Amino acid sequence: MPELPEVETVRRGLEALVKDKIVKKVVVRYSKMVSPEAPVFTKELENKKILDVRRRGKYLLIDFSGNYTMVSHLRMEGKYSVVARDEAYGKHDHVIFELDDGSDLRYNDTRKFGRMNLVTTGEEFQIGGLKTIGPEPQPETLTLEYLTQQLRSRKRGMKSFLLDQSMIAGLGNIYADEVLWLSKIHPQQISNSLTDDEIALLRESIFEELQLAIEAKGTTVFSYLNADGHAGSFQNQLHVYHRQGLPCHRCGTLIERIKVAQRGTHFCPHCQVLR
C-alpha cells in the first residue's frame, strides 16, 4: 500500500500535471469505485476546474470548482497517470478524467480496492478514516509532548502503535519497520515502556525517514509508480524492510522477519532488543 512518501510524491506530480485544467468528461469503468453513484459522480465533475491537490495522511484530496472535493485513497495498488487521450485504455484503467488540453488523468488499480468519494468542500474530513486521523508527521504537528502522551497512556506494541492512523497519519508497514530500526526499538516493545530519549529519537527518526523517502520519490517494492509513470528509488536505501537474511547495515547481524499485527515485520535482533 502506498504510504505517506508515495502519496505525497503522487500529489506533487498531479499538482504539476493537472492543476488548473478543466475536466471535460469523466468515464467510470468500475462503478463500485466511486461515490456518489457513477452517473451523479460524472455529471457533477463535468466542466469543473481542478483547483488544488492536497494530501492528508495516505489520502489525496482533489479540489474542484463548484465547491467539490474528491477524497481518493489508493489502497493497495492504485496509481494515477496523465497520458495522451488517444492512448488505448489499460485493462485496469477504471476511472478516466478527460481534460481540456487533450490529455487524460487515469486511475489504474489492478485489485480495484481504491475509492473516490466526491463531497462538498469542507466535508472531506467526515469521510472514512479522515474522521479520526492523527497528526501529520511533521515537527509542527507531531510534537514531542503529544507523542509522549500517546505512548505513555497506552500499552501497545510499537509496530501496532505506528500503524494506527489515529495516532500518527501516513506511516505504514515499510516506514514503521524503518523508523523502529533507526530508533533501535524492537517492533514488539510496549509503548509505555519507552524512555524519554527513545521517544525523542523515534520522533526525529520519523521526520528523517519520511523526508528522505519523499526526496527519493517513494519506495517501489512491488508496483508503485508516480504520476509521471516512474518508480520511486527509496527501496535502495531501506535498512530492514524485505532484507530478511541479509546483514544489518549497522552491526552485521542477519535481519529477521516475524509477523506483528498481522503484518510481515523486519528488524535486527542485535540492534533492536526486546526488553
Mean pLDDT calculated for residue range 203-221: 84
Domain count, the chain: 2
Query: For the chain, where are the alpha helices, taking DSSP H only?
Result: 4-18, 38-45, 144-152, 158-163, 173-183, 196-215
Residue 188, domain member (yes or no): yes
Residue whose C-alpha cell reads 475536466 in the numeric block: 23
- The string of pLDDT tens digits covering residues 21-49 is 999 999 999 999 999 999 999 999 999 99
Rounded percentage of the chain residues whose pLDDT exceeds 90: 85
Shared domain for 98 and 127, answered yes or no, is yes
CATH number for the domain that contains residue 162: 1.10.8.50
Shared domain for 212 and 175, answered yes or no, is yes
Shared domain for 123 and 208, answered yes or no, is no
- The string of pLDDT tens digits covering residues 146-163 is 999 999 999 999 999 999
Per DSSP, the chain holds a count of helices (H) and strands (E) of: 6, 11
CATH number for the domain that contains residue 96: 3.20.190.10
Give the residue from 110, 131, 152 where a domain finishes: 131
Residue whose C-alpha cell reads 481542478 in the numeric block: 50
- The string of pLDDT tens digits covering residues 250-264 is 999 999 999 998 899
Shared domain for 193 and 259, answered yes or no, is yes
Shared domain for 69 and 153, answered yes or no, is no
Q: What is the pLDDT of residue 224?
A: 41
**Residue 88: what are its φ and ψ, rounded to 5°?**
-60, 145
Give the residue from 102, 131, 160 where a domain finishes: 131
Neighbouring C-beta atoms of residue 121, cutoff 10 Å? 16
Residue 137, domain member (yes or no): no
Residue 79, domain member (yes or no): yes
Residue whose C-alpha cell reads 451523479 in the numeric block: 40
The catalytic residues are 2-3, 58, 263
Hey, what's the cell of 75?
489502497
Give the residue from 78, 100, 131 where a domain finishes: 131
Residue 139, domain member (yes or no): no
Instruction: Print the domain residue range for 175.
Output: 144-267
Shared domain for 204 and 256, answered yes or no, is yes
Shared domain for 108 and 154, answered yes or no, is no
Shared domain for 149 and 124, answered yes or no, is no
Residue 68, domain member (yes or no): yes
Residues 6+ apart with CB under 8 A from 265: 159, 173, 177, 187, 257, 258, 259
